[in-house]
């Protein structure tokens, strides 16, 4: 693995968002020059190695975006919806934004493009190689796994508002059932089971499913395309703020799972994840080495520390 020995000029789309803020600070700490590209890139803060460059992905033309990218060596797209909560989790706007970004990257002749997509485009070998987003088991297994983590629920509350609050109620009900709540009445346990059943019944209409499927669809812009240099990283499902362990494992194309199936849902209790800090390390490594060029990959790390972390970082 050969690393770049000279500082790079890296454009980060979405520098003040969740993943983007962690990545920008990781790159700056490594001595790279970072150009933040978004509507309000100054929100990240100020630093000698950081240049905020306002752009509007939705409303700027491809030519205008290409001009903004003309002087960078690498572009990383950490693009996400502008609207907070579930209202921003829409299919078509995300696909159109990614299409425009790719065309701008090609027009600007950027050397390397790192697309940060979603776990929905990873494959499940045990399910005839289908994508995660198409799995009948994924969404319920995902909600259960998120609910099992105090840190992840705290993150969802911060990011998604009412959707996150509902997740906290679901988590508490699951914990009550597991513990048997010594001294709790049968009515209390019955109420907890009712909360769990109602929540899980609604998972089939998960408001995030369209957005997850949109992220899955964007990989089709890349698969088999060698007209520009790219890599596509899908954060593993349990991606959240957390401890920076400094190590990670890469899996190509497939969803990394732990253990063996224990019930009808083949993914229940088997999903893996990574902290935003550790994924920032993995992406920064790829910016420097380009070892996964033309590949679709994910990274996982130790999430045993369940202490909540900040959803966004700043330079000041």
The model's pLDDT over 15-24, given as tens digits with 9 standing for 90+, comes to 999 999 999 9
β-sheet bridge partners, residue 239: 274
Which pLDDT does position 91 carry in this prediction? 65
pLDDT digits (tens, 9 = 90+) for 145-167: 999 999 999 999 988 777 678 99
Q: Is the pLDDT of residue 213 over 90?
A: no
- Positive or negative, the Cα torsion across 71, 72, 75, 80? negative
- Burial of 21: CB neighbours in 10 Å, binned 0-12, 13-18, 19+: buried
Place of tokens 């790219």: 230
Q: Is the pLDDT of residue 140 over 60?
A: yes
CA trace torsion 119, 102, 109, 42 (10° rounding): -80
CA distance 224 to 127: 23
CA distance 194 to 28: 49
Question: Residue 89: which of 169, 164, 171, 199 has the closest Cα?
Answer: 164
Quickly count: other Cβ atoms within 10 Å of residue 112's Cβ.
20
Which pLDDT does position 204 carry in this prediction? 75
Which pLDDT does position 81 carry in this prediction? 66
CA distance 228 to 222: 9
CB proximity list for 4: less than 8 A, separation 6 or greater: 287, 288, 289
Average pLDDT in the chain: 93
Helices 62-69 and 91-108: crossing angle in degrees, nearest 10, is: 50
Q: How many CA atoms lie within 13 A of 216 on its CB side?
A: 20
**More confident site: 183 or 203:** 203
* CA 200 to chain CA mean position, Å: 23
Percent of the chain with pLDDT over 70: 94
Three-class DSSP labels, 213-253: HHHHHHHHHCCCCCCCCEEEECCCCEEECCCCCCCCEEEEC
**More confident site: 136 or 185:** 136
Which pLDDT does position 27 carry in this prediction? 99
Q: Is the pLDDT of residue 205 over 90?
A: no
Numbered ranges of CATH 3.40.50.720 in the chain: 9-133+208-300
pLDDT digits (tens, 9 = 90+) for 262-282: 899 999 999 999 999 999 999
What separation, in Å, do the N-terminal and C-terminal C-alpha atoms of the chain show?
A: 33
pLDDT digits (tens, 9 = 90+) for 171-200: 999 999 998 755 567 888 999 999 999 999
Pairing mode of beta strands 296-300, 249-252: antiparallel
Which pLDDT does position 184 carry in this prediction? 62
CA distance 181 to 111: 58
Percent of the chain with pLDDT over 90: 80
Q: What is the mean pLDDT of residues 193-221?
A: 88
CA distance 37 to 24: 11
Instruction: Give the confidence band of 232 by pLDDT, cuts at 50, 70, 90.
Output: very high
Q: Is the pLDDT of residue 11 over 80?
A: yes
Pairing mode of beta strands 123-124, 112-116: unpaired
Which pLDDT does position 164 carry in this prediction? 77
Contact 78, 19 (CB under 8 A): yes
Contact 22, 279 (CB under 8 A): yes
pLDDT digits (tens, 9 = 90+) for 37-93: 999 999 999 999 999 999 999 999 999 999 999 999 999 999 986 545 455 566 688
Q: Which CATH number fits domain 9-133+208-300: 3.40.50.720, 3.40.50.1360, 3.40.50.300, 1.10.1040.10?
A: 3.40.50.720
Question: Residue 215: which of 40, 92, 63 has the closest Cα?
Answer: 92
């Amino acid at each position: 693995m050969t690393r770049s020995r000279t500082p790079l000029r890296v454009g980060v789309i979405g520098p003040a968002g969740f993943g983007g803020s962690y990545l920008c600070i990781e790159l700056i700490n490594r001595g790279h020059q970072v150009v933040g590209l978004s509507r309000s890139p100054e929100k990240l803060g100020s630093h000698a190695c950081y240049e905020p460059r306002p752009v509007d992905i939705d409303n700027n033309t491809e030519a205008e975006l290409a001009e903004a990218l003309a002087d960078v060596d690498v572009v990383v797209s950490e693009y996400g919806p502008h609207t907070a909560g579930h209202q921003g989790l829409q299919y078509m706007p995300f696909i159109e934004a990614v299409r425009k970004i790719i065309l701008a990257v090609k027009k600007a002749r950027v050397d390397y493009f790192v697309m940060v997509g979603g776990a929905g485009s990873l494959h499940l070998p045990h399910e005839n190689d289908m994508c995660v987003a198409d799995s009948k088991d994924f969404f319920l297994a995902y909600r259960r796994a998120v609910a099992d983590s105090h840190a992840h629920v705290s993150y969802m509350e911060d990011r998604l508002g009412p959707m996150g609050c509902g997740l906290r109620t679901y988590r508490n009900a699951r914990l009550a059932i597991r513990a048997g709540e010594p001294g709790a009445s049968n009515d209390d346990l019955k109420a907890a089971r009712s909360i769990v059943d109602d929540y899980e019944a609604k998972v089939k209409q998960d408001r995030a499913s369209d957005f997850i499927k949109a992220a899955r669809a964007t990989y089709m812009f890349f698969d088999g395309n060698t007209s520009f240099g790219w890599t596509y990283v899908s954060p593993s499902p349990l991606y959240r703020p957390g401890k920076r362990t400094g190590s990670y494992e890469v899996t190509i194309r497939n969803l990394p799972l732990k253990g063996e199936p224990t019930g009808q849902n083949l993914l229940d209790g088997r999903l893996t994840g990574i902290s935003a800090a550790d994924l920032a390390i993995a992406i920064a490594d790829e910016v420097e080495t380009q070892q996964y060029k033309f590949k679709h990959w994910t990274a996982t790390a130790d999430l045993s520390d369940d202490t909540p972390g900040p959803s966004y970082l700043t330079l000041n």
